[in-house]
Amino acid sequence: MKFAILVNEGPYTHQASDTAFNFAKAVLAQGHEIFRVFFYHDGVNNATRLTTPPQDDRNIVDRWSKLAKTSELDMVVCVAAAQRRGIVDDGEMKRNGKDATNLAPGFRISGLGQLVEAGIQADRLVVFGD
């Protein structure tokens, strides 16, 4: 089965990001495919490389980055939601005259069309968070 995952909540605000991450790992362990993970609303905060949790806490952003690398996941961050929350890649930095980037490895910024495509291509779109 082919899944698409939508994450709408930030990494330390609600359980949604942790649950989505654990769901993704379980899906892959069962031999299923993940077409795309799309981060929307406050979920885009899962994509900032500047997150620095205490040493005794889990690093959710790092977990997502490592999973993207080992499983070749397509992890897309909504451009409009990212701009509102200060999540910036090289393209957005240049386009908006910013002096730095903060997008974590394994993530890419794109538009809502990527979510629509994921919903069409996947057998199931699973939503985490409001």
Domain count, the chain: 1
CATH number reported for the structural domain that contains residue 96 in this entry: 3.40.1260.10
Query: What span, in angstroms and rounded, lies between the C-alpha atoms of 83 and 3?
Result: 27
pLDDT mean across residues, the chain = 97
Is 53 catalytic? The answer is: no
Candidates 7, 67, 78, 103; catalytic one: 78
Per-residue pLDDT band for 92 (boundaries 50, 70, 90) equals very high
What are the angstrom distances between the C-alpha of 21 and each of 35, 55, 57, 76, 96? 14, 20, 16, 14, 31
Please calculate the CA angle 91-92-95 and round it to the nearest 5 degrees. 85
Q: What percent of the chain has pLDDT over 90?
A: 98
**45 and 87 in contact (C-beta within 8 Å)?**
yes
Q: Which domain holds residue 117?
A: 2-128
